[in-house]
Structures are given as structure tokens and as C-alpha cells.
Amino acid sequence: MRPATIAWIVPPAVRPGDRVGVCAPAGPVAPDRLARGLAQLAPHLRVEVDDGVFTRTGYLAGDDARRADELTRLLRDPDVRAILVARGGFGITRILPMLDPALLRADPKPIVGFSDATALLAWAAAAGVRAIHGPVVAQLGELPADDTAVLVRALTAARPDGTWPGALTPLGPRTPCAGALIPGNLTLLAHLVGSPWQVDATGGVLLIEEVGEKPYALDRDLTQLDLAGLVRGATGAVVGDLTRCSDPPHVAGAVDDPGPARVVVAERLARFGVPGWWGAPVGHGARNRSVPFGGRIEIDGDGRLTLLDAAVA
């Protein structure tokens, strides 16, 4: 499966008054963080949450059946026009075999998330339906208001978001690149290799972010993706936040230095022959800008990134 080159089913835009559902397919949700995120969305979207999202079974938001059933109900409900993931964490790969992609193809609706939800975005991509790599609801209360505005536009406006403010920094030569954007958490992308939902950046632009992984783990995961043949044919790669990716591990309160992790990523991309750009406001840091999975982008020689496709139609 090559999501960089498939013909995408683009979900319809969320209209005023449409219901937007929230699910917890991964880790347990902190009610206060979820409430702050919902407050950011309330002026813009009609968001509905079932109390089941607060279920806790160890490090998961309930057992596999509960989490899969909750998501399936949202996929089946014709009045739900978008699905937001409440938080990341762990466990989404466990429920992928329990989800029916025919439901999403029959009634396409944008699914929004990142981090562990990379697995769910890849599941949607395997079904041929465009998803959105963007903030989870519990993160929104900690992000600038503009990130909420970008997410709302991604869900409601059938037009590309255009050129991002600011410019990316080259990790090597200033090589322009273009192609379908394949975004995700690096660890999850590596863990999906060999599954029915592995992604392939061939002919596209890879966008990666990570949190809490040591530089050698980034090396291992990027190498795994390349050994599987999923990176070397990319036209370029964009690096978002590599948050607390240090060795020794980052100490709370200390300055987070992504430099060593950036060096490792730059070396791997150069070895693969893939032009790299650094500094995308995406991931577990202070920003998390929403982007359409599989949407075409361009990066010019000055590092300006332009989105050419909308997330919705």
C-alpha cells in the first residue's frame, strides 16, 4: 500500500451544527485536560463526548472491546461528521483488526489525532480515506489559540491552508521537494512495518515527530523504515518536534536540547538520499499544527512550506 500515490477519498467538510464525536481509543483521559480542550472547541464546533472516555483499565481507556466499540459507533453514526481522538498514549494498534474500514469508506469522515493515533490515521489511509494529523483534544488547552483555529479550518474549510508562517531550516542542502504528505509519530510508523497498515513515503514527503525517545532509538526506527523500503524514495522529509529525545533522559525543569536528536535524524536522511527540513510546528511541543494526511505539499528552497490540498471537500 502506497498512501503517497493513492487516489484519496476526501471526507466532506463539517458544517455548522454538525455533530463531532470524541473517542478514547488509547490511554485513559484526564477529565480536567479534556475539559480545557473541549472549551477551546466549543465556540466553533458541536462536540459530543460520552462518559465512556473516562474508563480506565491500567494504562488504557478501558479494554480493547470498549475502545473499539466506541470508535465503531462513531463510524456507524451518520450524524457524526468528524471524529476527534481524546488523547494518545498506548493501545490503538491493538484494536485496528477490530475496526471495519468499509464503514469509513461508506461514510467518509475526518479522523483527527497524532502520537499513538498515527496508527488510526494509517488505518484510515489503508482504507483510502484522508485523515488529519493534528492535536488530540486533551492537548488543545495547552496550545496557542491559533492551533485550534487551524484545526477548525481543516475540518470545516474545503480549501488548502496555504503557506505556513515562517520557514523551515534545512538539514543539508536547500533542496526543494513536493509530494503527498505522510505524517506520523516515528515510533508508531516503525511499529506498523509488516502490518496491513504500514505507510510508504515513496514519492511523498515524510513528516515525523517524537517524544521521550533517545537518539539511538530514532536512528533505529528510521533505519527500520528504510530497510523496509519505505523512506528512500521520498522526495523529502520534514522534522517536527523531537521533544525530550535526549540521552541521558531529560530532567524535568531542564532546558530541552533537541540538538543531538536532530544530528541523528539529519545523518540518517542524508544516508538515505532524502532532503530534510527541520522546525515544523508539529508534535508534542508548544505547537501542533494540523495537516491533511496524504495532502500535497511543496517546500521551496527558502524552506517555505505550502499545503496544496484541503483535508475536506
Catalytic residue selected from 70, 209, 210, 213: 209
CA–CA distance, 199 with 76 (Å, rounded to integer): 25
Q: Do strands 19-23 and 276-278 pair parallel, antiparallel, or not at all (unpaired)?
A: unpaired
| Contact between 116 and 96 (Cβ < 8 Å) | no
Residue type, 132: I
CA–CA distance, 313 with 303 (Å, rounded to integer): 28
209 among known catalytic residues: yes
- The residue assigned the cell 466506541 is 70
246 among known catalytic residues: no
| Contact between 241 and 209 (Cβ < 8 Å) | yes
Measured distance between the N- and C-terminal CA atoms of the chain, rounded to whole angstroms:
23
Catalytic residue selected from 70, 210, 213, 284: 284
290 among known catalytic residues: no
Residue 312 backbone dihedrals phi, psi, to 5 degrees: -135, 165
- Residue 166 is given by DSSP the state S
Q: Taken in order 295, 299, 303, 306, is the CA torsion positive or negative?
A: negative
CA–CA distance, 310 with 284 (Å, rounded to integer): 23
Quote the Cα angle for 116-122-124, to 5°.
115
Helix (H, G, I), strand (E, B) or coil at 94: helix
Catalytic residue selected from 70, 115, 213, 246: 115
Q: Do strands 296-299 and 305-307 pair parallel, antiparallel, or not at all (unpaired)?
A: antiparallel
| Contact between 72 and 52 (Cβ < 8 Å) | no
- The residue assigned the cell 472516555 is 53
Rounded (to 5) percent helix, strand, coil in the chain: 35, 20, 45
Catalytic residues: 115, 209, 284
